[in-house]
Amino acid sequence: MASYLWVFLAVVNEVTATFRPRQLSPCQVVKSDVFCSSMNLKTIPMELPPHISKLDLSHNLLQNVTQELSTFYNSIRHLNLHSNRIEFIQPGLFKDMRNLEVLDLSSNNLDIFALSQSEIGSISTVTNLDLSGNGLYTDMPFYFLQNAPALQNLSLEGNSLTKIDNNTFAGSLALRSIDLHNNAIMDIEEGTFESLKDLSELNLSKNSITCIIDFNLSQLTLLNLSQNSIESFQTTPSDLEYELLYLDLRQNKIYYFPVLPRKNKLMHLDVSRNLMQSVFDASFAGDLEYSSFRDNTWTLNRTLSVDKNTFNSLPKLMYLDMSYNEIRSIPASFFSSMGSLEYLNLSNNCLQDFSLDNDSPLNSLETLDLNFNALLNLSFGENTLRSLKRLYLKGNALHVLAPNTFLRLPSIEVLDLQQNNISICSRSHRKSQQGHRAQETGCVTFSSMPTLRYLYLASNGLVSLPQYSFYGSPLLVLDLSDNPGLEIHKKAFSGLESSLTYVSLRGNDLQTLNIDLSPLTRVKNMDLSANRLKGLPPLGKESSIEFLNLQSNSLLTLEYSTVLALERSLKTLYLGGNPLICCSSPRLLHLIQQSTVNIPDRDIVTCRYSQNLEYKEVNISSVLQEHCQEKEGNSAFIITIIITALVLIAVLIFLSKYCHQRRHRFSGSFKA
């Protein structure tokens, strides 16, 4: 009877074991996802819930991945083994994991596995595979990709590949995206990517490729070749329409504008940080013949000739970056096929002239960056740049421009002219020019520009700011800083009362500010630092200043009315570098010591107070009532002395008159 009971209990235990929850590991379980990251695991835990969909084992100490994984967890769709020490994978391990789609093996030691020339086996259902950061070099990817027919996205980033063979991807013909970024690739065998008919994105950035002379991957939509050593990029001559939308060639050694497909859909082109001196197409008199790669150089067997009359047709291009090159001139005809261009960056080149005539097609352009060239001349036709909103001209040599240069930009919102040498026309000057052909007078008009919102004129050597300089231009931001000796007309800001929110007059060596700030009720940010101001003009009761920089001036105090106006809205105040007198304004002391106003330079704000008839300096936050009482005591003492002195003088005068009268009487009564 007892034996039957033991048998019964054993059967019950076996049956109920299926329904009892397994002993859970420290891993976090969220529905069908299990997270075991960063737990110093040396083996894969087997006491986890069945039917796992995602298993994250990243950042552990795993070295071997064996058959037990597929035995216990064959339902996994997403397996993350990133950042372990894996150097061995059981061949055929993933064959039975029929649901596996995403496999992350990045940042391991798979080069050790590949050295054994063992194949990982079939990964027939995997669509996303990450092998980045494994120290793999030439031929090694083959052992992981030989049987991956469903693979669409592959990352081999951050390995040590120097060459890509034409059989590397022979077992992965469904690839759509390949990331080979940050290797040392110098050679790609002919036909390597041509068999990948679905390939649309290819990242070859940060390698050692020196030349692309027969680009023919018409199915690509994205090609990243940045940070290589490419000297020339040429497309195979063809009437085939290329699907390429995004081409990144920045940080190479390209000397001429790339030869692009004749029929293209290119929307984004970056050729910045190269060695281009010209935008002319690199056209060749005959077929180019390059020798085999040797000693990290390519040898040309034919001479390069430049055709200055033919330019690439780029009808759909929206973004073009040619900054940080050595371009000295660009003919207007270069842009003749770029009717869709919205962003053009030509900054940090050697341009001395930039002109667009009336036939220029750049009416879709919204941003034009010409910063840091050597521009002397700038002109725009009347019917071009109709959509331009942002024009950057900082760091050029602009001096003499037609007064109406910027009036021809009907949509301009941002105009950056910092670090040039222009002057500002008055509104009356513009009126005198109406009806006459604009002459080069050396000043530029900024009034009556109804779309202009941001104007930067710092470091232009401005001498004067005439009255009504910006009348009719609803500026939000106006930067006039670093123009030492600037004389400001009292009506210079007329017309900005209802728009201006930021104004900078920093570093202009101003001793007085003779403009009336009270009408500028919308100004929230004002920078008056690095001048020689001894006081501020009236701000008005409706002042809305929130940020005020008064550093490095000659202020002794702030008037009671000024402080009263600031208290309503002020949030941030800079005061350091002024010879403030501690007890001259109790209201200012209260603003600094007890209000909620933020004073970022509080540690360097000092003031002077009198002690024993000497002036001493103290941080303004440390001023005590006693410091000011002594001043009041000294004042009372001085007043007492003055009153006493006056009384003594009055007594002396009285006595003098009295004695004089007595003498006169005495001399009058004397008889001989």
More confident residue, 284 or 259: 259
Q: How confident is the model at residue 69 (pLDDT cuts 50, 70, 90)?
A: confident
Average pLDDT over residues 137-161: 96
Span 14-35, pLDDT tens digits: 333 333 344 456 899 999 999 9
CATH number of 209-285+312-397: 3.80.10.10
Comparing C-alpha atoms, which of 416, 367, 414, 366 is closest to residue 394? 416
In this structure, what are the phi and psi dihedrals at residue 83, rounded to the nearest 5 degrees? 55, 60
Question: CA angle, 33 as apex, 27 and 36 as ends, to 5°?
Answer: 25
314 near 338, Cβ under 8 Å?
Answer: yes
- pLDDT surpassing 80 at residue 151: yes
Least-confidence region, from 391-400, 419-428, 640-649? 640-649
Comparing C-alpha atoms, which of 281, 279, 231, 280 is closest to residue 251? 231
- pLDDT surpassing 70 at residue 298: no
- pLDDT surpassing 50 at residue 96: yes
Residue 626's pLDDT is what? 76
Q: How confident is the model at residue 519 (pLDDT cuts 50, 70, 90)?
A: very high
- pLDDT surpassing 90 at residue 657: no
Span 582-641, pLDDT tens digits: 988 888 998 888 888 999 999 999 999 988 778 889 999 898 877 786 544 444 445 455
Residue 70's pLDDT is what? 83
Average pLDDT over residues 512-532: 94
- pLDDT surpassing 60 at residue 13: no
Q: Residue 158, class by beta-carbon neighbours within 10 Å (0-12 exposed, 13-18 middle, 19+ buried)? A: buried
The class that CATH gives domain 24-208 is alpha beta
User: What mean pLDDT is reported for the chain?
Assistant: 86
Least-confidence region, from 84-88, 217-221, 246-250, 354-358? 354-358
Residue 433's pLDDT is what? 54
Domain boundaries, the chain: 24-208, 209-285+312-397
Comparing C-alpha atoms, which of 480, 524, 482, 483 is closest to residue 502? 524
Q: How confident is the model at residue 312 (pLDDT cuts 50, 70, 90)?
A: confident
- pLDDT surpassing 70 at residue 139: yes
- Residues in contact with 394: Cβ distance below 8 Å, sequence separation at least 6, in sequence order: 371, 372, 416, 417, 418, 419, 420, 456
Average pLDDT over residues 402-416: 96
Of the chain, the end-to-end C-alpha distance in Å amounts to: 176
Secondary element (H or E) of residue 616: strand 614-619
Residue 644's pLDDT is what? 66
> Do strands 28-30 and 33-35 pair parallel, antiparallel, or not at all (unpaired)?
antiparallel
212 near 235, Cβ under 8 Å?
Answer: no
Comparing C-alpha atoms, which of 186, 150, 142 is closest to residue 167? 142
Residue 473, CB-side half-sphere exposure with 13 Å CA sphere? 28
Which stretches of 107-192 are DSSP H helices? 110-115, 142-145
> Do strands 304-307 and 278-284 pair parallel, antiparallel, or not at all (unpaired)?
antiparallel
Least-confidence region, from 63-77, 274-288, 299-313? 299-313
In this structure, what are the phi and psi dihedrals at residue 4, rounded to the nearest 5 degrees? -60, -40
Q: What is the DSSP letter of 547?
A: E
- What is the value of pTM for the model shown? 0.84
Least-confidence region, from 176-180, 512-516, 613-617, 637-641? 637-641
More confident residue, 9 or 367: 367
Extract the runs of DSSP E, i.e. beta strands, from 462-530. Answer: 464-465, 477-479, 487-488, 502-504, 525-527
- The span from the CA of 423 to the CA of 402, in Å, is 11
Instruction: Extract the tokens encoding 633.
Output: 């005591």
- The span from the CA of 199 to the CA of 244, in Å, is 11
- The span from the CA of 94 to the CA of 138, in Å, is 24
Q: What is the DSSP string of 265-290?
A: ---EEE--SS--SEEEEEEESS---B
Least-confidence region, from 7-16, 176-185, 458-467? 7-16
Q: How confident is the model at residue 305 (pLDDT cuts 50, 70, 90)?
A: very low
Instruction: Extract the tokens encoding 325.
Output: 């090159």
- The span from the CA of 573 to the CA of 166, in Å, is 66
Comparing C-alpha atoms, which of 507, 484, 506, 503 is closest to residue 492? 503
48 near 75, Cβ under 8 Å?
Answer: no
3 state DSSP class of 526: strand
- Residues in contact with 36: Cβ distance below 8 Å, sequence separation at least 6, in sequence order: 25, 26, 27, 28, 45, 55, 56, 57, 60
- The span from the CA of 340 to the CA of 43, in Å, is 57
Least-confidence region, from 149-158, 296-305, 618-627, 662-671? 296-305
Residue 302's pLDDT is what? 35
Comparing C-alpha atoms, which of 369, 361, 375, 451 is closest to residue 406? 451
Asked if the domains 24-208 and 209-285+312-397 are classified in one and the same CATH topology, the answer is yes
Comparing C-alpha atoms, which of 236, 239, 235, 234 is closest to residue 256? 234
Q: How confident is the model at residue 426 (pLDDT cuts 50, 70, 90)?
A: confident
Residue 199's pLDDT is what? 98
Residue 67's pLDDT is what? 87
- The span from the CA of 81 to the CA of 58, in Å, is 5
